[in-house]
Structure 1
């Protein structure tokens, strides 16, 4: 009999528009490889970009918030593992899973630390220099960390986030598991990638619903691109991303080589044709799917320290990291013009992928972790006293608030 996984999604995943969608697809593929029978449930509405679950052999269910129908559903399903996609979903449904499917291993997929991203965005907007104290004292951090404690295991995508959770907040390592993006590196060789001479133009990619991406396009338009065009007057840059806001679409300027194209149906094709990817990210969290995609397609990148955070260990970046826009533009031009520099950067990207993002290795480690936890989850929960305390408090508060809302809605 197959093991059963219930995934409760914040949204229906969109792998062609967001890194979070790619991440969820990778997790689902991992569980399928472990032999799990998967049910994906969400309160959200689907879009034209939503993942085709039928093709993957995954059952999909639409669920209601603050509704007793979920209790019956999860009790009947009786999953072996329940995976919450983002801490907000665990807040909404975690207590129901704990009460009506108590033997299910509860796993939290953070995508990134939302509170870290939010506190950095606020610091950037208000312009005090960001400090970790901003994150530690942010109200969202309290919610996110409480969710981590209530779960049996939390998936962390960034080495930096693993580090600050343990060192700054003393969260036990037993509750955390570092699982970055998982990439098939078997075909990732120079020989199978388009060469330097076959590529043309700069590229930038990012979903328009994500504030760091919109900010990065503004920086490109007003700070970096004028500097690059001064050195390379005939150069072109192509901006791609789903859900781009009007303010970004209005930046389209073919005369200055600044082309805004919107959603790219085939990101790999776009990146394989480009010579250099630019990602001047000033805030954010997690690790950046666009930068990993650049490595996969052999495209060197120029980004910031925030962009590369938690991605490279002690290895060289596949391009350049700079927070100074003069230097950023200068190194982008150097990569674009110097074939030797470009090839070296491409090779650094291949090495990074093989060292940190090997799908086969990561899936194996994740599978072993799940197996070990499922065998000893009762002892694991006994050791997590803070988690038990928070679960008790949640049942005593959130449960009755949800029941009150349900009764109010019924009336």
Structure 2
């Protein structure tokens, strides 16, 4: 079978969790001997992975251009996977028109409307509520979910949100978290011990607003209080696409150090004692905490940061939005060997019980096979999706064609 992946950007697994997530999906298709083509309208960066080396065809496509119609009608994929709802908005109607029998899968990455609503609530200094959730991004994203045959949801918390708050049928959704290989006991024993580790660490793409805000929050409200109690400790900030906004928080004399891009996240994470990232908004699963758990590094965050990773009982007892509580707990984990070891083991257990690769890959293959065999029935049961696709073809389609003609004249 042929799979076309329409990327929001070229995958950068060393730069972001989104890049790692995309590569996990690609590997599933390759393992099943699918022919994979990756296409995107964005330019490549030096951090982009070489897909051709994996036997994947690469194509650059244009927005608002009938050249995409020619490309996809010639390719005739059996499955089209959209990387985030924004690509489905741009290309979904063209896919439906040129390849109506192709299965359309949306990889949400995270629920963007949830992230946007939390960001708006933080800006207004008001507790997040349903009014913030029902923003324009949510409306666009829900429409995209309905137009697709199945949407991959990375977090159990977001599965609950979509089904209970927005009333989306579980038939249209599939829970697909990060996929973690089993960690051998020998590998765990080889990890640096408590005594051999130093300093706090956080890591994340600086272009991602929640990450930059977390660094700001650390710098302005948390780090000086930790440093008072732990004067020899340092806060190491790693991340791709370091910019002036990130550099403004640099304070080497106070141990707050902007390290920049990490070539090997495992090395820097294994040498750190605690991963500290107090996220104030965001959505989905946070890749930094999976990197921490894989490398035996306890993490301290907020309930938003732990969402979808830890069970609610742990989130309520181990995480807080209260600055003093974050400071106190970060110091305890950093200083108390027994607590540190307890949290390290918790991380290993969470990965094993909740994010086992083999289990979730098998579930995805079963879901995909079901949709392949029952595509007509699935679409008949999704009248809302049919209705939205109809209106998209009548509106987005002609707006796109108007832009295309305008570009020709310009």
TM-score by shorter chain over 0.5:
yes
Shift of 1:187: 2.8
Aligned residue among 337, 342, 345 for 1:344: 342
Distance 1:192 1:366, change over 3 A: farther
Find the aligned partners of 2:69 and 2:402 in 1 and give their Cα distance: 15
Find the aligned partners of 2:270 and 2:318 in 1 and give their Cα distance: 19
Instruction: Decide whether the 8 Å contact of 2:4 with 2:79 is kept in 1.
Output: yes
Find the aligned partners of 2:386 and 2:326 in 1 and give their Cα distance: 48
Shift of 1:259: 1.1
> Which structure 2 residue ranges, 5 or more long, are not aligned?
none
Shift of 1:364: 1.1
Find the aligned partners of 2:311 and 2:78 in 1 and give their Cα distance: 34
**Aligned residue number for residue 151 of structure 1:** 148
Find the aligned partners of 1:314 and 1:232 in 2 and give their Cα distance: 30
Asked whether 1:250 is paired with 2:259, we answer no
Instruction: Decide whether the 8 Å contact of 1:41 with 1:62 is kept in 2.
Output: yes
Instruction: Decide whether the 8 Å contact of 1:34 with 1:367 is kept in 2.
Output: no
CA shift digits 1:260-314 (9 cap, x unpaired)? 1111111111000100000110011111000111111110010001101122235
**Aligned residue number for residue 18 of structure 2:** 20
Count of residue pairs the alignment pairs up: 408
> Which structure 1 residue ranges, 5 or more long, are not aligned?
none
**Aligned residue number for residue 93 of structure 2:** 95
Shift of 1:365: 0.9
Structure 1 residues 23-38: aligned runs within 5 Å: 23-38=21-36
Instruction: Decide whether the 8 Å contact of 1:276 with 1:299 is kept in 2.
Output: yes
Asked whether 1:260 is paired with 2:258, we answer yes
Structure 1 residues 157-168: aligned runs within 5 Å: 157-168=154-165
**Aligned residue number for residue 380 of structure 1:** 378
Structure 1 residues 130-149: aligned runs within 5 Å: 130-136=128-134, 138-149=135-146
State the secondary structure of the residue aligned to 1:346: helix
Shift of 1:245: 2.5
Shift of 1:335: 0.9
**Aligned residue number for residue 52 of structure 2:** 54
Find the aligned partners of 1:215 and 1:233 in 2 and give their Cα distance: 24
Instruction: Decide whether the 8 Å contact of 1:205 with 1:241 is kept in 2.
Output: yes
CA shift digits 1:139-184 (9 cap, x unpaired)? 1111100000000000011111110111111110000001011111
Instruction: Decide whether the 8 Å contact of 1:4 with 1:81 is kept in 2.
Output: yes
**Aligned residue number for residue 120 of structure 1:** 118
Shift of 1:316: 4.2
Find the aligned partners of 1:220 and 1:211 in 2 and give their Cα distance: 14
**Aligned residue number for residue 331 of structure 2:** 333
User: Which range moves more in the overlay, 250-259 or 61-70?
Assistant: 250-259
TM-score by length of 2: 0.97
Instruction: Decide whether the 8 Å contact of 1:205 with 1:240 is kept in 2.
Output: yes
Find the aligned partners of 1:245 and 1:322 in 2 and give their Cα distance: 29
Find the aligned partners of 2:230 and 2:224 in 1 and give their Cα distance: 10
CA shift digits 1:16-54 (9 cap, x unpaired)? 111111111111111111221100000000000001101
Find the aligned partners of 1:195 and 1:29 in 2 and give their Cα distance: 33
Find the aligned partners of 2:397 and 2:252 in 1 and give their Cα distance: 56
Q: CA RMSD in A?
A: 1.5
Instruction: Decide whether the 8 Å contact of 1:315 with 1:352 is kept in 2.
Output: no
Distance 1:390 1:353, change over 3 A: same
State the secondary structure of the residue aligned to 1:299: coil
Shift of 1:248: 2.1
CA shift digits 1:307-359 (9 cap, x unpaired)? 01122235746x93121111111111111111111111000000000011111
Shift of 1:128: 1.9
Find the aligned partners of 1:255 and 1:396 in 2 and give their Cα distance: 60
Instruction: Decide whether the 8 Å contact of 2:120 with 2:132 is kept in 1.
Output: no
Shift of 1:244: 2.3
User: Which range moves more in the overlay, 394-403 or 79-88?
Assistant: 394-403
State the secondary structure of the residue aligned to 1:181: coil
CA shift digits 1:83-124 (9 cap, x unpaired)? 000111101100110011111100001111111111111111
Shift of 1:186: 3.7
Find the aligned partners of 2:278 and 2:367 in 1 and give their Cα distance: 36
